[in-house]
Amino acid sequence: MQILLYILKRILQTIPLLIIVSLISFFIIRLSPVDPLAELRLNPSVSKETLQAETQRLGLDRPIIVQYGKWAKSFVKGDLGVTSNGEKVSTKLAERIPNTLLLTIIVIFLSWVVGIPLGIVAAVNWKTPFDRILTVLTSIGMAIPSFFFAVLLLIFAVKTGWFPVGGLTSSNFADMSFSQKFLDITHHLILPVTVLFTLSLAGLQRQMRGNLLDVLDSDYVKFARAKGISEFKVIFKHALRNAVNPLITLLGFEFAGLLSGAALTEYVFQYPGLGRLILEAVLKSDINLVMASLMMGAVMLIAGNLIADILLIITDPRIRNGS
């Protein structure tokens, strides 16, 4: 019950946060000298009525505060407007967000499954050659610019022909059976996942290693060892739980970092995700689309932090029973 209340409180707290985010984004975009309807005006397939309706909806002839009010009102109602091509923003987002989520969730899952054990092994074998090699490798992993790595992998894909060059699905995707579809998507995902996985694995392994080393230094671990508990039990039963907690807090940040890193990776691999959408929207100065995808990015980030917080309550009794 207490947990539920806490979760409810945290969810309510995100509302003012989202309002400020939308205010900031709105004013940044409105500061730009670009006419938000320029593309729409030039597009012959967009009718005069649509244009009129958009001007009305955005209240472009009104002061900026009123404009924001109008935008916020329709946003709450779920009406995100149309893109400069006349498509609905909401359908466009619904098409792209799952792809970005798919990419980031796979990456987070893989980097936890691989990064945590590697961190543990490195901490247990502190200062051995194995640990040093891992440290060198993670240093390299953290220093490669994501887009550069992506470009290098693309060369590899083009030269060997082992991997598709960009996109998420093959051209004949619609005719495939379910299992073929699954394999096709997996095949397309390998390279972008590799890029983001390398980046996020390196950071996570280092964090885990550092945390575990800290915990292994603490008194209660020394006490457990002194009692004669086996090293295996000391690490997995006593030390590990405390070492993982800070990582859960980091999960939210990791998610944020991945969203940003994904934007460039998506761009290089022509991956149909939110990051590439926002980039295309920005290059075309498609205001509705930019605004909506910015908000969605923020919602995803805040949701990520929220999930991390909730996980933390579950794993850490001190927070649950404390404040």
Partner 1 sequence: MIKDLIKQLWKDKFARIALVVLGIIYFALFFADFIAPYTKDFSDRSMAYVPPSKIFTIDENGKLSKPYTYNYKREFDENNLKIIYGLDRTKKHYVKFFAQGEPYKFLGLIPMKRHFITTDGDGRLFLLGADINGRDVFSRILFGGRISMTIGFLALFVLFPIGLLYGGIAGYFGGKTDMIMMRFAEAVMSIPSFYLLIILASVLPSGMTSVQRFMLIVIILALIGWAGFARVVRGMVLSVKNQEFVQAAKSIGASHFRIITKHILPQTTSFVIVAMTLSVPSYILSESGLSFLGLGIQQPDASWGNMLKEAQEYTNIIYRPWLLTPGFLIFVAVLAFNLIGDTIRDILDPKSKVR
Residues at the contact surface with partner 1, assessed by CB under 8 A? 16-18, 20-21, 24-25, 28-29, 31-34, 126, 135, 139-140, 142-148, 151-152, 154-155, 158-159, 165, 206, 210, 213-214, 217, 256, 259-261, 263-264, 267-268, 275, 278-279, 282-283, 285, 290, 293-294, 297-298, 300-302
Identify which of residues 33 and 228 has a Cβ nearer to partner 1 in the complex: 33
How far does Cα 177 stand from its chain's mean position?
30
8-state DSSP, 88: B
Cα–Cα distance between 142 and 144 in angstroms, integer?
A: 6
User: Alpha-carbon distance 179 to 184, whole Å?
Assistant: 9
Residue 8 or 17: which CB sits closer to partner 1?
17
DSSP annotation string for 220-281: HHHHHHHTT--HHHIIIIIIHHHHHHHHHHHHHHHHHHHHHHHHHHHHHTT--SHHHHHHHH
Contacting residues for 107 by C-beta, under 8 A, at least 6 apart: 193, 196, 197, 200, 258
To partner 1, the closest distance from the beta carbon of 119 in angstroms equals 12
Q: In terms of CB distance, is 190 or 279 closer to partner 1?
A: 279
Residue number, 167 or 317, with CB nearest to partner 1: 167
CB of 62 to partner 1, least distance (A): 21
Cα dihedral: 78, 19, 292, 286 (round 10): 120
Residue closer to partner 1 by CB (options 189, 261) is 261
Q: Minimal distance in Å, beta carbon 174 to partner 1?
A: 26
Element (H, E) at 179: helix 178-216
126 vs 296: CA distance, rounded Å:
42
CB of 49 to partner 1, least distance (A): 29
Q: Cα–Cα distance between 1 and 50 in angstroms, integer?
A: 50
Phi, psi (degrees; rounded to nearest 5) at 82: -115, 155
| Contact in structure between 122 and 209 (CB atoms under 8 Å) | yes
The structure tokens 């001007």 sit at 55
| Least Å from the CB of residue 176 to partner 1 | 26
Residue with smaller CB distance to partner 1, 168 or 202 = 202
Q: How far is the CB of 52 from partner 1 (least distance, A)?
A: 27
Q: Which amino acid is at 181?
A: K
Which of 47/270 has CB closer to partner 1? 270
Min. distance of Cβ 314 from partner 1 in angstroms? 23
Residue 291: both structure tokens together: 């605004």
Q: Tell me the closest approach of the beta carbon of residue 238 to partner 1, in angstroms.
A: 19
Select 7 or 34, whichever has its Cβ closest to partner 1.
34
Say how many C-beta atoms besides its own lie within 10 A of residue 17's C-beta: 12
